[in-house]
Amino acid sequence: GGMEKIKQHTFALAHYTYTVLSTLKYANGAPVVRIYSDTDFSNPDVQGPVINFNVLSENGEVIGFSQVDKMASLYNIHVRTGCFCNTGACQMHLGISNEDIQKNLQAGHVCGDDIDIVDGHPTGSVRISFGYMSSFEDAQTFLKFIIATRLSKLDTEIPFQSSVTKLTTESIPDDHSSFNNADKLSPIPHILERELRNNLSATETTVNWQPPEAKAESIRAAVSETAVPTCRRDGKPITISNIYLYPIKSCSAFEVTEWPVGNQGLLYDRNWMVVNQNGVCMTQKQEPRLCLVNPSVDLKKKVMIIQAEGMEPISVSLEENTGKEPMIYESRVCSHRVKTYDCGERIAGWFSRFLGRPCRLIRQSSDMKNRSHQTNTKGLASATNISLSLVNEAQYLLINVASILQLKEHISARLEKPLEIEELIQRFRANIVICAPESFEEEEWAEISIGALRFQVVGPCSRCQIICIDQQSGERNKEILQSLSAARGRKTNFGIYLMNQPLCSSFPDVLSVGSQVLPMLKENTEIQPPTSSKEKCSG
């Protein structure tokens, strides 16, 4: 039917989605989304098949677009976020002044980043669009995603399901005059207004994800991001309980009790990665079975041994093969070009057989000049000269057992089978696990010292769908990320990134389990050391 039919088809989908989104309400009557549009979606000649919006909380606060994007990825939905290369429209619809733009830039916000909220105000929005290949089922999938993540605790009670079989995709008449009245669009697709109202009413009365106010307040207090004491409770020390390195990016962890520190982090941490036949980094997002690959490093024998169920163990030398010219691979995950060495056909065949697709193992070259830390590290000396391995953000990731325990209560309440603490620790894939008296107090630290090592905190870790993957089986459960978002006030931060600032000391640079952690608060007030160094936090 040509472009005219495509216009009719895509506009019908957009109009339907717009109509449902506009009607969604929380139990308290507050809207679920705020739509930004100059039209009422009544005429395809002036309104394209694009919907621009922000998701709101039940209190009317905007939920950052990066959080919505991460949730959408769990449902295999791709959305565009930010200002869409249209700063003027962004300022107009979001009420952003020129002064606000400058203030956002000073806060570190740049085009394409995840800084979606500054001082409580959004820096961008979410956009969905329909094309000729889009279907009514696609629109339904998107609406079910919004309803499941905003209006229910569990992904079960979703309205409109009873109406799906009654909805039809009747073609829009060629006469565009029918679009001059929005009421005339109701049969395209055919939805009985009464059915829509009844379904929404049922949603408001039977699907109430919001906990009782008293419980809600206790949750907010329990997972507060700011309420942190300035001294140790009962004089208990903070100690390292676990140390993990991940020799191969996105593969299983290798747990150690003590390990040397290199100029990029833990020695050999994320020095290798698996790439597809195009040289693009593969992670658990695309290939969850990577978590079943178990690498271990033998420093004495100078080899890395790689194991997986059903496969013969295979070894890789720790000695860099300087006899081969390094190749340049572009990793979309790291967003950098990295200079690497290919580990050869034997290793490539091993990974290809296990994963069932062509892939190769590559190793980062010792020439580290091509990868340095570029993000905002205020107060970190020579930040741009600090080299990185194949990590995404920083040299180290730290999590707190007390924070894990606090989060475990909220996640377990939403799951049929409660998670064990060890399983949650594995899902968060940290390098350093500490045992501190208070949950989430690590988010108020500016620096920490461990023996002769000094670390700068460079920001929180905003979690993605990888925490939804069971690191023992490779199975996904999207409820994990949704639970984290709900428990943390619609954010997905968990853990903090660290960069190493070596101290001038005669002590060897080694991290050990049981070592004491001395933090410095963001207000530059040093936390008092514990009265007894013999006490250790269990767990």
Give the active site residues. Answer: 85
Distance CA 196, CA 370 (A): 56
* Contact (Cβ atoms closer than 8 angstroms) between residue 424 and residue 500: no
* Contact (Cβ atoms closer than 8 angstroms) between residue 339 and residue 370: yes
Distance CA 125, CA 107 (A): 18
In sequence order, the 6+-apart residues with CB closer than 8 A to the CB of 72 are 78, 79, 145
CA separation (Å) from 8 to 13, 131, 192, 472, 525?
Answer: 9, 11, 20, 48, 63
Distance CA 302, CA 258 (A): 17
Give the number of other Cβ atoms within 10 Å of residue 344's Cβ: 13
Pairing of strands 432-435, 33-36: unpaired
Distance CA 154, CA 166 (A): 25
Interhelix angle 98-106/87-94, nearest 10 degrees: 110
CA separation (Å) from 166 to 85, 189, 201, 254?
Answer: 39, 9, 19, 54
Torsion 164-166-171-176 (CA) sign = negative
* Contact (Cβ atoms closer than 8 angstroms) between residue 466 and residue 285: yes
- Both structure tokens of 72: 């959408």
SS3 content of the chain, % helix, strand, coil (to 5): 30, 25, 45
How many Å from the N-terminal Cα to the C-terminal Cα in the chain? 66
* Contact (Cβ atoms closer than 8 angstroms) between residue 448 and residue 238: no
DSSP assigned state of 107: T
- Both structure tokens of 237: 């020390």
Pairing of strands 445-450, 453-462: antiparallel
In sequence order, the 6+-apart residues with CB closer than 8 A to the CB of 1 are none
- Both structure tokens of 444: 């108020």
Pairing of strands 396-400, 432-435: parallel
Strand segments (E) across 225-326: 239-245, 254-256, 258-262, 265-266, 272-276, 294-298, 303-307, 314-317
Distance CA 71, CA 140 (A): 16
Distance CA 507, CA 452 (A): 6
